[in-house]
Amino acid sequence: MKRIAATFLVLIVSALVAAQDYPVFEPDKLRPDEFRERRERVKRELGAGTVAVVLTNPIRNRNNDVDFFFRGDSNFLYLTGFEEDSAALVLIPDGFELDGKRVTEILFCNVPTQQSITWLGYRMGPENAIKLLGFESALPNREFEATLSKIPAQKVSLSIPPNPEPGLIGRMNSHIQAYREGKDAGPNLRQMIQRHRQVKSPWEIELLKKAAEISALAHVEAMRAVRPGMYEYEIDALYRFVFRREGCADIGYEPIVGSGPNATILHYNTNRRKMEEGDLLLVDAAGEYMGYSADVTRTFPVNGKFSPEQRAVYEIVLRAADEGIAMCRAGVTTAQIGNRISQILADGLIELGIIQSRNQIGRYYMHGFGHGIGLDVHDPMPGTLVPGVVLTVEPGIYIKEGSPCDPKWWNIGIRIEDDILVTDGEPVNLSADAPRTVADIEKLMQETGIGNQPFRPWR
């Protein structure tokens, strides 16, 4: 009897907690119509007889009882706008009778409890997810297995993140695998959503513009701050400070802050070296704003003045970047842009005597010219550009010590990377606020900034 009373009390408390108001700190993020329209597009394309399941990422352990900061799977975020862990979306184009109502979509998510509010913070919960994000229906994630197993389907389509094993998401994935047994495979859902993500909506473009502007501002502050004798991590810290101060929830990717020889290492990110007189500093760093990441690189001399050799190579990379950006127009293929950029870089290095023929350019330029940006820093992009595509243009030259050229070129590593919006007309450089020309960089570097001010003791 006592047990029944206690259970009853728990149920009442849980119901009260679930019905609580959910504090919305960033109302701009709530675009129920936009997310609903994305789900409707996918449902139409899935067609009759297919049920689709979209899982978000698992929580991943970092060490002992510390987890990595949670970030949802981008396909899941694209369709839901729901940022919490332990969630799944089921799409049922044919409809399914749930509590007397025909629904074509169900979000499964955590339910807030007194315990979770005390220890973990706010949880939106099913009711608020319906109210704020516009889902037709939402249920506690503990009901996932029982509900899914009742939904009839001939075909199943899945968007499961890579390595979904840990925790609740891993268990949900096992239920999904059991559910799909004996059913046919529906359309490839991950590919379908990736295709939908290639062209950005006006709102997504606004978010990418903001991410790029914040990132450009951080590059400006870095140019003002850097001096010989500083450590790479001091500049790394400055970027992170600017991103967070301007409202980014996170970095889009680990900042690459490579000076001297480190500027020639494509994915260097330990950022521990002391910078010296005469070094170039290559920084590839950008913030993620409301889920959308920019991707911006600038290269500048630590002492504020390019050497003649640094400048000669820089001008070639800048020419390639400028021509590449000018080509970012509807109807142009990415192959055309990539080929033209390689040619310009090769011809420039031939002129300087660093290589002897165009086919040697791979020695010093070993990556693609660019990629889409969006919810992922490497986001999908179509092979032929159309208005609404946002992509990077990022030529670079990396000459390691010991390369087969005059040693005066060694340890020059340069990349210039901007984020470009394709429109009906001219391309728009979203990251143009960070100086790109030698003259503009050297002028800005005469200023001091927030990043090299000494700390002041308070006593």
Q: Which residues are catalytic?
A: 65, 267, 284, 295, 367, 371, 378, 394, 398, 415, 417
* Candidate residues 85, 295, 376, 419; the one interacting with ligand GLY per rule CB under 6 A: 295
392 near Mn ion, rule: CB under 5 A: yes
**Is residue 352 classed as helix, strand or coil in its secondary structure?**
coil
418 near Mn ion, rule: CB under 5 A: no
Stretch that binds Mn ion, among 270-278, 344-352, 412-420, 434-442 (CB under 5 A): 412-420
Smaller CB separation from ligand GLY, 293 or 403: 293
| Alpha helix positions (H), 303-333 | 308-326
Alpha-carbon span 220 to 48, nearest angstrom: 53
The entry of ligand GLY, Mn ion, none near residue 234 (CB within 5 to 8 angstroms by kind) is none
* Candidate residues 236, 394, 418, 419; the one interacting with ligand GLY per rule CB under 6 A: 394
**DSSP label at 384?**
B
Cα diameter, the chain? 91
**DSSP label at 328?**
-
Q: Do 328 and 391 form a contact (C-beta atoms < 8 A)?
A: yes
56 near Mn ion, rule: CB under 5 A: no
Residue 286 to residues 23, 58, 175, 236, 240, Cα–Cα distance (Å): 28, 24, 38, 11, 9
Q: Do 243 and 319 form a contact (C-beta atoms < 8 A)?
A: no
**Which x/- pattern, by CB under 6 A, does the window 240-279 give for ligand GLY?**
-------------x--------------------------
Q: How far is the CB of 253 from Mn ion (least distance, A)?
A: 7
Residue 456 to residues 112, 230, 406, 423, Cα–Cα distance (Å): 43, 18, 46, 48
Stretch that binds Mn ion, among 223-231, 281-289, 395-403, 447-455 (CB under 5 A): 281-289
The entry of Mn ion, ligand GLY, none near residue 253 (CB within 5 to 8 angstroms by kind) is ligand GLY
Let me know how long the chain is: 459
Angle (nearest 5°) at CA 290 between 103 and 286: 145
Smaller CB separation from Mn ion, 295 or 376: 295
**Is residue 147 classed as helix, strand or coil in its secondary structure?**
helix
Q: How far is the CB of 379 from ligand GLY (least distance, A)?
A: 11
418 near ligand GLY, rule: CB under 6 A: no
Q: Hey, which residues does 184 pair with through a beta bridge?
A: 155
Q: How far is the CB of 281 from ligand GLY (least distance, A)?
A: 16
Smaller CB separation from ligand GLY, 111 or 377: 377
Among the listed residues 309, 415, 308, the one whose alpha carbon sits nearest the alpha carbon of residue 364: 415
231 near ligand GLY, rule: CB under 6 A: no
376 near ligand GLY, rule: CB under 6 A: no
Q: Do 371 and 417 form a contact (C-beta atoms < 8 A)?
A: no
Residues that bind Mn ion (CB under 5 A): 284, 295, 392, 394, 417
Residues that bind ligand GLY (CB under 6 A): 253, 284, 295, 377, 394, 417
